[in-house]
Structure 1
Amino acid sequence: MASNTPASEAPFDAFGGGAGPAAPDTEWNPDEGTLRSGGRHRVVKQRSNFARSSTVLGVGVIAAVGAGGLATAQEKPPVAISLPDLPDLPDLNLPAAEDLPGVGELFADDQADQQIQDTIAATGGNPNPLTAATYVTPGTDDASATTRAAQASFTTQNATAEAAPTRAADAGEILRARILQQAEQQQASADAAEKLAAEKAAAEKAAAEAAAAEKAAEEAKAKAEAEAKAKAEAEAKAEAERIAAEKAEAERLAQLAASYSMPLSSYSLSATYMQSGSMWSSGYHTGLDFAAPTGTPLKAVHSGTIKSAGWSGSYGYRVVLELEDGTEVWYAHLSSMTVGAGQTVTTGETIGRVGATGNVTGAHLHMEVHTAGGDGIDPAAWLRSKGLSL
């Protein structure tokens, strides 16, 4: 709102802009009353082509800048603008635009219109308003160029205003495309990271499984080797024990052989244990016969005590040697006896001689072996058990 009531103004001066003489080359000097009433001081000192060209140039520049501002404003959201209330202005009888010096050419210069269209086409419909205006050197009278520059600015402003919705749509599509591209890139990066993490996890899992398998294989191999070693050691131990047992048995037999002796040094076996035949009253032979010439010395097979020595019916002369474990060895059919009952003898000592007394068919030694319980056993097996060979 205006705060003061405007004072009456002087008649319009087209050249000076204030009240005063209508002639373009005169001055108007307001008095104190005019200034107090709110009048303005307009002084026209000189009118020339330079002043007219400068005026038109200013209009062109303002138009160009305005066009640029409008083009920029088209890209921004609208802003509400409030204007103050203006008082009613009196009819100033302004001249028509076509009658203004230098401005009327804007409506009649066809060549300038063509140049403007060429400028818009060359700049893609969005020329820089500042560069669209033609710079006019001060002091020249190129009003046409200035006019064309101003017209180009206004035309550019209209073209920019018409193209603003399209540019806004294009900018929105570009922004949308960039957002989608960025989202795709982020998704691709996330997928790549996830794939890399999965591959890394798979590689680590495979490595762990390979390490576990290798460890298990090593453990299995070590276990197999340990078992094989233990088996080999057990076998070696068993073999060593077997060898040791055989050696111990051999030593035992050697000791027995050293402590036991064959009853005859030279002989031939003429009848074996449990051999059947009519010559024996029981139907089978109860001992082992060593055939040898009469008078051949008989040896004690082991150290012991003479239990009996004398005649024994069908056995003829017989000597019974009792050993420490109770075993009895019978010597029968002797021709003579060199020991008596209760006598202690040692291994290899002579106890009698071969003969043919009793129930015989020829000279020989009939030998029997009885356990401590009185049961008869095979004399040949007993002699072998003592390390002796027949």
Structure 2
Amino acid sequence: MPAPEGIENQEPPTAGAWGEWNPTEDSVRPVRGKHRVARQRGGLARSSTVLGVGVIAAVGASGIATAQDRPQVAISLPALPDLPSLPEVMDGDFSGGGGAADDTRRAAAEGAKTGIIPQQADRRADAGEVLRNRILQQAESQQDAAEAKAQAQAEQAARDAAAQEAKAKLDAAQKAVEDAKAAAEAKAAAEAKAAEEAAAAKAEQERLAKLAGSYSLPTSAYTLTSHYGVAGSMWSSGYHTGLDFAAPTGTPVKAVAAGKITSAGWSGAYGYRIVLELEDGTEVWYCHLSSMSVTSGSVGAGDTIGRVGATGNVTGPHLHLEVRKGGSTVDPLAWLESKGLNV
């Protein structure tokens, strides 16, 4: 294979017989991209930036084949000055105004100190930023969840309070309705009772008025002296069995209602006595009479049937009036009042 242009074809040189190699302008073009500075094991690193760039540029730009395809040629390397060790570089001053190159070198120096190259530092910084963002997102998510839960609880509490308030208002309204209904019913019942009582009282008045035309007082110009049931030794039964109307002797005695006279004459302690039987079977006894005008037959209410006297067991002139039903005495005063008479 012919040699590249500008390089003579010659026999492989012996050791130390290599000629000088002067890189061309194309072969020393700067290589694009970032370059890492790695720590050399077992010693100090040389300036790999200068050496690496020259070698890579020479190989990549010239298109020279590998040593296996090409015969060996003599290459002379330019003398390189002694470079300071890496710690010296790292401790050096990068304030010479190198711009981006100084930043690159400064990052490389820092990476050499920490054992982390810039790309690793960037990846770790990115990972830290990702972790930080995840933590912040998780915290924000938890905060949002807590706020949502608190808002839901507040809304539920508000709904519960509103439901309780509505229930209380509904109960109050129902109670008010029930109270009003009960009051209306009570009022209606009271009014009905009052109306019933008024009607009953009116009916009683009408009945008494009607009875008043059918009944009459037994005498006039009288004074009530002894009432029914008064106890005393002067009465054989131990108590008074009638009602005494004290009046002057000869005062007319009248039939209290229409009926018939069933008995008239002397009756021991009662003196002269007339028995008047009414239509319902009630017997009215007129006792201590001074005279008897009617001794038999039917009579009407208010008819004169005798005169007041003091016959029999008496202390003065009076009419002893007894009312009997079924053979037993009753209070004459209550009976007369029940017939509408004002005694």
**Shorter chain as normaliser: what TM range?**
0.5 to 0.7
Aligned equivalent of 1:389: 342
* 1:181-260 equivalences in 2 (<5 Å): 181-260=136-215
Aligned equivalent of 1:289: 244
Equivalent residues of 2:250, 2:290 under 8 A apart: yes
Aligned CA RMSD, in angstroms, stands at 4.1
Equivalent residues of 2:253, 2:305 under 8 A apart: yes
Aligned equivalent of 2:69: 89
Compared with structure 1, are the counterparts of its residues 220 and 279 closer, same or farther at alpha carbon in structure 2 (3 Å cutoff)?
A: closer
Q: CA deviation at 1:224?
A: 3.4
Rounded to whole Å, the distance in 2 between the matches of 1:95 and 1:284 is 174
Rounded to whole Å, the distance in 2 between the matches of 1:115 and 1:267 is 153
Aligned equivalent of 1:380: 333
Deviation readout 1:231-263 (Å, 9 max, x if unpaired): 444444444444444444444444433432211
| One-letter code aligned to 1:384 | E
Rounded to whole Å, the distance in 2 between the matches of 1:310 and 1:209 is 92
Residue 301 of structure 1 pairs with residue 256 of structure 2:
yes
Q: CA deviation at 1:374?
A: 0.9
Q: CA deviation at 1:340?
A: 4.1
Rounded to whole Å, the distance in 2 between the matches of 1:118 and 1:306 is 163
The TM-score normalised by the length of structure 2 is 0.67
Q: CA deviation at 1:120?
A: 4.2
Aligned equivalent of 1:75: none
Aligned equivalent of 1:318: 273
Rounded to whole Å, the distance in 2 between the matches of 1:319 and 1:334 is 8
> Quick one: which of 223, 228, 234 aligns to 1:273?
228
Rounded to whole Å, the distance in 1 between the matches of 2:179 and 2:283 is 57
Rounded to whole Å, the distance in 2 between the matches of 1:201 and 1:171 is 44
Q: Which runs of 5+ in 2 are unaligned?
A: 10-23, 38-64, 84-92
| One-letter code aligned to 1:59 | R
Compared with structure 1, are the counterparts of its residues 125 and 88 closer, same or farther at alpha carbon in structure 2 (3 Å cutoff)?
A: closer
Rounded to whole Å, the distance in 2 between the matches of 1:11 and 1:308 is 187
Compared with structure 1, are the counterparts of its residues 12 and 264 closer, same or farther at alpha carbon in structure 2 (3 Å cutoff)?
A: same
Equivalent residues of 1:308, 1:342 under 8 A apart: no
Compared with structure 1, are the counterparts of its residues 230 and 125 closer, same or farther at alpha carbon in structure 2 (3 Å cutoff)?
A: farther
What is the count of residue pairs matched by the alignment? 289
Aligned equivalent of 1:168: 123
Compared with structure 1, are the counterparts of its residues 268 and 86 closer, same or farther at alpha carbon in structure 2 (3 Å cutoff)?
A: same
| One-letter code aligned to 2:249 | T
Rounded to whole Å, the distance in 2 between the matches of 1:329 and 1:183 is 115
Which segment is superposed worse, 313-322 or 272-281?
A: 272-281
Compared with structure 1, are the counterparts of its residues 194 and 299 closer, same or farther at alpha carbon in structure 2 (3 Å cutoff)?
A: same
SS class of match (1:167): helix
* 1:1-390 equivalences in 2 (<5 Å): 7=1, 9-10=2-3, 12-13=5-6, 55=26, 59-60=29-30, 63=31, 65-67=32-34, 88-96=68-76, 98=78, 118-120=97-99, 124-125=103-104, 162-275=117-230, 280=235, 284-343=239-298, 345-371=299-325, 373-390=326-343
Q: Which runs of 5+ in 1 are unaligned?
A: 1-6, 20-51, 72-84, 108-113, 128-154
| One-letter code aligned to 1:125 | T
Equivalent residues of 1:330, 1:367 under 8 A apart: yes
| One-letter code aligned to 1:325 | D
Deviation readout 1:44-85 (Å, 9 max, x if unpaired): xxxxxxxx87x47x823xx1x3449x99xxxxxxxxxxxxx9
Rounded to whole Å, the distance in 2 between the matches of 1:312 and 1:11 is 190
Rounded to whole Å, the distance in 1 between the matches of 2:201 and 2:243 is 29
| One-letter code aligned to 1:91 | P
Equivalent residues of 1:120, 1:126 under 8 A apart: no
Rounded to whole Å, the distance in 1 between the matches of 2:186 and 2:257 is 45
Identity %: 45
Aligned equivalent of 2:48: none
Rounded to whole Å, the distance in 1 between the matches of 2:238 and 2:168 is 79
SS class of match (1:193): helix
